[in-house]
Amino acid sequence: MIDIKFLRENPDVVRENIKKKFQDQKLPLVDEVIALDAESRANKQAADALRAERNKYSKQIGALMGQGKKDEAEQMKRLVTEKSDELAAREEKETELQEKIRKIMMVIPNIIDPSVPIGEDDSKNVEVQRYGEPLVPDFEIPYHTEIMERFCGIDLDSARKVAGNGFYYLMGDIARLHSAVLAYARDFMINRGFTYCVPPFMIRSEVVTGVMSFAEMDSMMYKIEGEDLYLIGTSEHSMIGKFIDTILPEEELPYTLTSYSPCFRKEKGAHGIEERGVYRIHQFEKQEMIVVCKPEESKMWFDKLWQNTVDLFRSLDIPVRTLECCSGDLADLKVKSVDVEAWSPRQKKYFEVGSCSNLGDAQARRLKIRVNGKNGKYFAHTLNNTVVAPPRMLIAFLENNLQSDFTVRVPEALRPYMGGTELLTPKK
Pick the range with the lowest mean pLDDT from 203-207, 255-259, 276-280, 337-341: 276-280
Q: Note whether 135 and 100 are same-domain residues.
A: no
Q: Is the pLDDT of residue 276 over 80?
A: no
Could you tell me if residue 418 is inside a domain?
yes
Confidence of residue 269 (pLDDT cuts 50, 70, 90): low
How far apart CA 342 and CA 349 sit, in angstroms, is: 8
Check whether residue 136 and residue 269 sit in a common domain: yes
pLDDT of residue 424 exceeding 90: yes
Q: Rounded to an integer, what distance in angstroms lies between the CA atom of residue 154 and that of residue 297? A: 43
Instruction: Report the pLDDT value the prediction gives residue 8, as an integer from 0 to 100.
Output: 95
Q: Is the pLDDT of residue 153 over 50?
A: yes
Domain count, the chain: 2
Q: What is the pLDDT of residue 391?
A: 86
Domain residues for the domain of 25 are 4-105
CATH assignment of the domain containing 275: 3.30.930.10
Per this entry, what is the length of the chain? 428
Same domain for 42 and 13: yes
pLDDT at 28 over 90: yes
Q: Which of 19-33, 45-59, 239-253, 297-311 has the lowest mean pLDDT?
A: 45-59
As a whole number of angstroms, the distance between CA 301 and CA 314 comes to 20
Contacts of 117 (CB under 8 A, 6+ apart): 124, 125, 126, 324, 326, 327
pLDDT at 160 over 50: yes
Residue 275 has pLDDT above 60, yes or no: no
pLDDT score, position 355: 95
Mean pLDDT, rounded, for 276-296: 92
pLDDT digits over 196-236, tens only? 999 999 999 999 999 987 777 777 899 999 999 999 999 99
| 77, 215: one domain | no
Residue type, 364: A
Residue 351 and residue 381 in one domain: yes
Does residue 133 form part of some domain? yes
Tell whether 206 and 347 lie within a shared domain.
yes
| % of the chain beyond a pLDDT of 70 | 98
Least confident piece of the model among 8-12, 38-42, 389-393: 389-393
Domain for residue 117, yes or no?
no
Answer whether residue 339 shows pLDDT above 90: yes
Encode pLDDT of 36-55 as tens digits.
999 999 999 999 888 888 88
pLDDT band at residue 270 using 50, 70 and 90 as cut-offs: very low
Mean pLDDT of the chain: 93
pLDDT digits (tens, 9 = 90+) for 70-115: 777 778 788 878 888 888 999 999 999 999 999 999 999 999 999 9
Amino acid 55: pLDDT: 80
Q: Do 69 and 174 reside in the same domain of the chain?
A: no
pLDDT tier at 158 (50, 70, 90 boundaries)? very high
**Which one-letter DSSP state was computed for residue 297?**
G
88 lies in some domain:
yes
Verify that 85 and 184 share a domain, yes or no. no
224 domain-assigned? yes
Torsional sign, CA 67, 68, 74, 77: positive
pLDDT at 143 over 80: yes
Cα–chain center distance at 222: 16
DSSP H helices, 283-391, are 298-315, 362-367
The full DSSP string for 298-320 is HHHHHHHHHHHHHHHHHHTT--E
17's CB contacts (< 8 A; 6+ apart) are: 109, 111, 112
What percentage of the chain exceeds 90 in pLDDT? 82
Q: Determine, yes or no, domain membership for 246.
A: yes
Q: Last residue of some domain: 75, 105, 135?
A: 105
- Nearest Cα to Cα of residue 96 among 51, 46, 36, 7: 36
**271 pLDDT more than 60:** no
- Establish if 112 belongs to a structural domain: no
Residues 181 and 319 in one domain: yes
pLDDT of res. 80: 79
Cα atoms in the Cβ-side hemisphere of radius 13 Å centred on 209: 10
Q: Is the residue at 114 inside a domain? A: no
Identify whether residues 198 and 150 lie together within a single domain.
yes
Q: Which CATH number fits the domain that encloses residue 10? A: 1.10.287.40
pLDDT higher than threshold 60 for residue 282:
yes
Residues 407 and 363 in one domain: yes
Q: Do 309 and 419 fall into the same domain?
A: yes
pLDDT (mean) for 233-257: 96
